Amino acid sequence: MDIKTKYHFRNNFFENPKYYNDLILFQIGEALCEISTELSNHVHLDWYEFSYIVSGKGEIFTNNIGTPVKKGDLYFSFPKEIHHISSDNIEPLRYFFVAFNFLENSPLKSLLENYKNLAFSEKKRVYHSNSILGHFQHLLFDLEKDTLLHNLIFEYELKTVILKVFAIIESNDSAAYPPQRNKQQLLCFNIMNYIDNNIANMDNAMCLSEFFGYNYTYLSRFFKKVTGENISSYIINKKLTLAKDMLASSDISITEIANELHYSSIHVFSRAFKNKFRLSPTDYRQFLISKRR
């Protein structure tokens, strides 16, 4: 499995795997390829593997069937497969990789087996996410520390990556994983609860897609079907109601309120507030002051 690289940080535990409770680690590392690097054919034994592209582009092969990859792509490999990687001759690959499995009694083992049994074609292994990079960086940092605390953090980080990948798969293949009709109201309630508890930290509604594992168009459509209101309208109304409460219960400036609720400017905030409450934030605060006299 020789590979010509400018940089190759590899931790192999194939002969003596590392255990983190139910998680089994076989290999983890990072590689920066040279131009036109070829990672020769090798067989994955009893482990799954994620390859996450940090930069560059190339092609990853499973059983001699190649799939192009680029920055932000994650390639999912299964056990008992022939695997190799080809780096681009202009933009060489830099990527993280981790090989893992779980004990038989682990619920995550069951999830992995379910995806494996779906018999994904070799062409259907690439999933895009810009939110996973930080987790891989933390994995390498915590692996090096090798203390009880960092081992627990390592376990958490890798399981987070795995669960995020599962959510991405289900989002991309939502036709294969539709929520049952009797579960839609529960999912809708969970969306509303998430918004209610995170409204001050939400830049936009797209974060719901990644958190719940369904594409935003699908979530928005069924949310309106259940509630009669668009997700975006629900978020706007919640933000403005919170702004109204902040104006009434604190001395925080209107500019600070607009910033805290992630409005692009005080003017955008004031216009939205006036459209809903028929008073500008300034006039509303003056109205409250006059009532207290």
CA distance 150 to 144: 9
> Do residue 10 and residue 112 come from a single domain?
yes
> Do residue 11 and residue 83 come from a single domain?
yes
> Do residue 263 and residue 247 come from a single domain?
yes
For the chain, the domain total comes to 2
> Do residue 58 and residue 127 come from a single domain?
yes
**pLDDT at residue 241 is higher than 80:** yes
The confidence score (pLDDT) of residue 123 equals 61
Dihedrals phi, psi of 177, to nearest 5 degrees: -130, 50
- CB-CB contact of 92 with 42 (8 Å): no
Per DSSP (E only), the strands in the chain are 5-12, 18-20, 23-33, 38-44, 48-55, 57-62, 65-70, 73-77, 81-87, 94-102, 126-128
Q: Of the candidates 123, 155, 172, which is a domain's last residue?
A: 172
The confidence score (pLDDT) of residue 116 equals 66
> Do residue 15 and residue 60 come from a single domain?
yes
Which of the 8 DSSP states describes residue 46?
Answer: S
Give the distance, in angstroms, between the CA of residue 54 and the centroid of all CA atoms in the same chain. Answer: 15
pLDDT in tens, 179-222: 454 566 677 878 887 888 888 778 778 888 888 888 888 888 87
The confidence score (pLDDT) of residue 122 equals 59
- CA dihedral (242, 248, 251, 255) in degrees, to 10, reads 50
CA distance 237 to 78: 45
> Do residue 168 and residue 182 come from a single domain?
no
CA distance 122 to 62: 6
> Do residue 236 and residue 150 come from a single domain?
no
> Do residue 23 and residue 123 come from a single domain?
yes
Q: Is 109 left (phi over 0), alpha (psi -120 to 50) or beta?
A: alpha
Q: What's the average model confidence in pLDDT over 36-41?
A: 69
Sheet of 81-87, strand order: 38-44, 81-87, 57-62, 65-70
Domain of residue 223, residue span: 178-293
Q: What's the average model confidence in pLDDT over 241-261?
A: 88
> Do residue 83 and residue 117 come from a single domain?
yes
Q: Of the candidates 126, 144, 172, which is a domain's last residue?
A: 172
> Do residue 154 and residue 187 come from a single domain?
no
The pairing of strands 5-12 and 18-20 is unpaired
**pLDDT at residue 2 is higher than 50:** no
| C-alpha separations of 8 from 11, 68, 96 in Å | 10, 21, 10
The confidence score (pLDDT) of residue 53 equals 93
pLDDT in tens, 102-128: 998 888 887 787 766 554 665 678 888
Q: Of the candidates 144, 172, 200, which is a domain's last residue?
A: 172
Look up residue 182 and give its two tokens: 């009797």
Q: The domain spanning residue 42 has which CATH number? A: 2.60.120.10
One-letter amino acid for residue 163 of the chain:
L
> Do residue 246 and residue 185 come from a single domain?
yes
- CB-CB contact of 193 with 211 (8 Å): no
> Do residue 155 and residue 99 come from a single domain?
yes
CA distance 41 to 85: 8
Which residues are bridge partners to 49 per DSSP? Answer: 77, 99
Could you give the percent of the chain with pLDDT greater than 70?
86
The confidence score (pLDDT) of residue 32 equals 84
